[in-house]
Amino acid sequence: MGRIYEDAKAWFEANYDDSLPVGTWWSRLAASGWGFPQWPRGADGLGLAPSEAAEVDAARRDVGAFGPPAGIGATLVAPTLFVHGPEALVRRYVPAIATGEELWCQLFSEPGAGSDLAGLTTAAERDGDGWVVNGQKVWTSGAHLAGRAVLMARTDPEVPKHRGITFFAVDLRQPGVEVRPLRDMTGDAEFNEVFLTDVRVRGDDVIGDVGGGWAAAMTMLAIERDLDAIGHDGGGDVLNDVDRSVSVAEMRAAQLAGSSSGFSYATGARKDEVVAGLVARFADRTEPVLRQELAAAHAHRRVLDWDAARAVPPSLGKVLNAELCRRLRDLGFRAGGLPSQLSGEDAPDGGHFQKLALFTQGMSVAGGTDEVQRNILGERVLGLPREPRQP
């Protein structure tokens, strides 16, 4: 570790206090730039490279300081705004994202436009100096909590489908927005259907250019796939709606007492902790095959952490994380035996592993299937011939 690590550690040691309200701590982090050091200077960041930001994160963890907000707004929306702008939207929305005051979601997939995202039919039509949106989205993570969303909508049906899409910021706290939960096999309802009926969007809430939404959406998906390599939650910090008035200590205690969703385990770094707890309780670490599988899982995690600090193709991290989920699932079943197959609060680990195990296969689909990611790597990274397309 170098100077960045030492400077960050000194700041966290001097400023962190777990008796502070969560909102006060997050505001202090945002003002300092140490919360999101990879963000640009002047936008609650320090303009650090990914490897330098990783040193800051290591310093924070070594001090034991609570992390910054880790929802979709912080991990996906703000970084996309930095690339595509305009600057007015950065100034309008990033400060409340950095302090955890506003939660966001992504209105991307539709019932008939999943893998073929460009086939979306949700339409935005001009209305004076704004837009009116009608359509339906599905598999929207966190829509039941979010106050704002990024939205892909068709604004020109007469041009090729990739060129007729515009990317918007939309206020979900208005008439015409209906959110319906979708419960998955774990029993959780992290996903939702969202119905949009005559929903209004400000004319200056276009991200990037009108008709240029595909580029902005691909930037966001690339960031999402990159994050999938290490987990959206940064190892256990807050993803969802919180009471910003409670102390950091109270928030941490509530996290430890609560049961996370299968979604948060599989997408986050906590999956390592869940399986490690099962291994520690039930497994014989001297058993040769288990010992080898533990070593392989550890090596796999180290590769993902190494990737996270470097400019590797996002699709690579996405595929590797899906594989790590499967590896840890199988390891948990081997280590835990019959008890690992139990679910619910009366299971030996409170049912945490069972949620992870059930959700694992979804990681090969969410954010782009493994097959799509391998095509991207083959065609765009390795320069292999394109897969034949249907006429």
Query: Cα–Cα distance between 238 and 67 in angstroms, integer?
Result: 8
Residue 243 within any structural domain of the chain = no
Looking at residue 118, its amino acid is: A
Summarize pLDDT for 5-59 with one digit per residue, the tens.
Answer: 999 999 999 999 999 999 999 999 999 999 999 999 999 999 999 889 989 999 9
Phi, psi of 95 (to 5 degrees): -55, -45
Is the per-residue pLDDT at 270 higher than 80?
A: no
Do residue 80 and residue 110 come from a single domain? Answer: no
Tell me the CATH number at 81.
Answer: 1.10.540
Do residue 306 and residue 358 come from a single domain? Answer: yes
pTM listed for this prediction:
0.83
Number of domains in the chain: 3
Residue 41 within any structural domain of the chain = yes
Residue 238 within any structural domain of the chain = no
Residue 387 within any structural domain of the chain = no
Summarize pLDDT for 288-299 with one digit per residue, the tens.
Answer: 998 999 999 989
Positions annotated as catalytic residues are: 224
Average pLDDT over residues 374-385: 91
Q: Which domain holds residue 21?
A: 3-98
Query: Cα–Cα distance between 241 and 73 in angstroms, integer?
Result: 12
Identify the pLDDT of residue 265. Answer: 72
Query: Cα–Cα distance between 269 and 219 in angstroms, integer?
Result: 23
Is the per-residue pLDDT at 139 higher than 70?
A: yes
Tell me the CATH number at 201.
Answer: 2.40.110.10
Q: H/E element holding 264?
A: helix 262-267
Identify the pLDDT of residue 378. Answer: 93
Do residue 64 and residue 21 come from a single domain? Answer: yes
pLDDT band at 232 (very low <50, low <70, confident <90, very high): very low
Helix (H, G, I), strand (E, B) or coil at 283: coil
Tell me the CATH number at 330.
Answer: 1.20.140.10
Q: Which residues of 319-353 are buried (b: 16+ CB within 10 A; e: fewer)?
A: bbbbebbebbbebbbbbbeeebeebeeebbbbbbb
Do residue 89 and residue 172 come from a single domain? Answer: no
Residue 388 within any structural domain of the chain = no
Average pLDDT over residues 183-207: 92
Do residue 279 and residue 365 come from a single domain? Answer: yes
Do residue 173 and residue 210 come from a single domain? Answer: yes
pLDDT band at 233 (very low <50, low <70, confident <90, very high): very low
Better-predicted residue by pLDDT, 154 or 261: 154
Contact present, 184 and 190 (Cβ < 8 Å): yes
pLDDT band at 352 (very low <50, low <70, confident <90, very high): confident
Neighbouring C-beta atoms of residue 43, cutoff 10 Å: 19
Summarize pLDDT for 208-220 with one digit per residue, the tens.
Answer: 999 999 999 999 9
